[in-house]
Structure 1
Amino acid sequence: MPHAHHSDACPGCAAAPQAAFARHDHSHCSGDVLARAEALAAEQGVKLTPVRRRVLEILLEEHRALGAYDVLQRLAGEGFGNQPPVAYRALDFLVENGLAHRIRRLNAFAACMHPGEAHAPAFLICRACNHVAEAPAAPVREALDHAAAALGFAIERSNIEALGLCPACRGAGA
């Protein structure tokens, strides 16, 4: 399915994956995503509790995937408690409700930049700085579905992750 974009989405984060690695007004895009996440939670009848909201805000602060332990340290430092289930429950909630993605290669989590939109992103992961961008993966998924169908296989779920270097790290000779 094609990846739809909101007209008010931050061009640096949501509309153009290559720009997600560039300098841009990140506060605009994170604020926009947070507002859409709150609307989506209300629409789905689920509660974005203070700890869930704070975890989403932490994930939105950078285009970097964070491990549950990193999130837990931030929560503990802000008085939300230091027990691992606090972070894991909030992260699981965000993933289950389409507000975050699990980046399996990094065993980490990243905020979904397109909450509420039907999309199957490919994750572009910089091996040097761990910044992550979502790229539309519909053509890749269609090719994969076609190749699988030729073997009589029906794909139910896929997770596409590509490892490489972002423009900044390529420029720095990483």
Structure 2
Amino acid sequence: MVAAFPSEHDVSGKLHSHHVEDPGSFVAAVEQASEERGLRLTPLRKEVLELVAAAGRPVKAYDLLDQLRERHGNAAPPTVYRALDFLLEQGFIHKLESINAYVSCHHPAEAHQVPFLICDNCASAQEVCDARVAELIEAQARSFGFRPQAQTLEVHGLCKHCRKG
């Protein structure tokens, strides 16, 4: 069990709000990472990525579908889910399982698993970029003879803005 998240916002323990200040720069970083990895970021994948980045908070697949239908009229759920699956597999976005929503990843060029702090009032999400948390969970799992394949750690509560209200 992790007693506390780091209070310092340094390289080993950064908190990132999932409001991307510059969605264009984020998309450019994903395009660069895709090119370096030899991946094909199709126009639809890019558009879904842009919508996730522009949302500034966790966004559900059907909200993305509604936005695509406003633009194209004929978007279907499998189309959106295929794009999301690709973006997830490549680590460009994260899925918040407990609220069934997606957020952009603040480090799209590197594969990593991170915990999230999710506000139950405003649905904001903060990525906790601290490798120690993932390493601790993995070490504990191995000590029990368990071989972890993926981690999803989501901590629910109230963000500082909602606590003030």
Distance 2:20 2:37 in 1: 29
Give the match's secondary structure for 2:103. Answer: strand
TM-score by length of 2: 0.83
Kindly indicate whether the alpha-carbon contact (under 8 Å) linking 1:67 and 1:109 is maintained by their aligned counterparts in 2.
yes
The 3 A distance-change label for structure 1 pair 97 and 147 is closer
Q: Which runs of 5+ in 1 are unaligned?
A: 1-10
Q: Indicate which of 39, 54, 64 corresponds to 2:32.
A: 39
| Residues 49-76 of structure 1: CA deviation (Å, up to 9, x unaligned) | 2211111111111331111100000000
2:162 paired residue number: 169
Q: Indicate which of 73, 85, 89 corresponds to 2:82.
A: 89
Does 2:97 align with 1:104?
yes
2:5 paired residue number: none
Distance 1:105 1:152 in 2: 26
Kindly indicate whether the alpha-carbon contact (under 8 Å) linking 2:117 and 2:126 is maintained by their aligned counterparts in 1.
yes
Does 2:58 align with 1:65?
yes
Kindly indicate whether the alpha-carbon contact (under 8 Å) linking 1:120 and 1:137 is maintained by their aligned counterparts in 2.
no
Does 2:12 align with 1:17?
no
Aligned-pair distance for 1:80?
5.8
The 3 A distance-change label for structure 1 pair 98 and 150 is closer
Kindly indicate whether the alpha-carbon contact (under 8 Å) linking 2:52 and 2:103 is maintained by their aligned counterparts in 1.
yes
Distance 1:169 1:94 in 2: 30
1:158 paired residue number: 151
The 3 A distance-change label for structure 1 pair 104 and 83 is same
Distance 2:111 2:42 in 1: 24
Kindly indicate whether the alpha-carbon contact (under 8 Å) linking 2:91 and 2:112 is maintained by their aligned counterparts in 1.
no
TM-score by length of 1: 0.79
Distance 2:62 2:141 in 1: 37
The 3 A distance-change label for structure 1 pair 121 and 74 is same
Distance 2:90 2:143 in 1: 33
2:133 paired residue number: 140
Distance 1:113 1:168 in 2: 21
Kindly indicate whether the alpha-carbon contact (under 8 Å) linking 1:64 and 1:131 is maintained by their aligned counterparts in 2.
yes
The 3 A distance-change label for structure 1 pair 38 and 130 is same
Q: Which runs of 5+ in 2 are unaligned?
A: 1-8
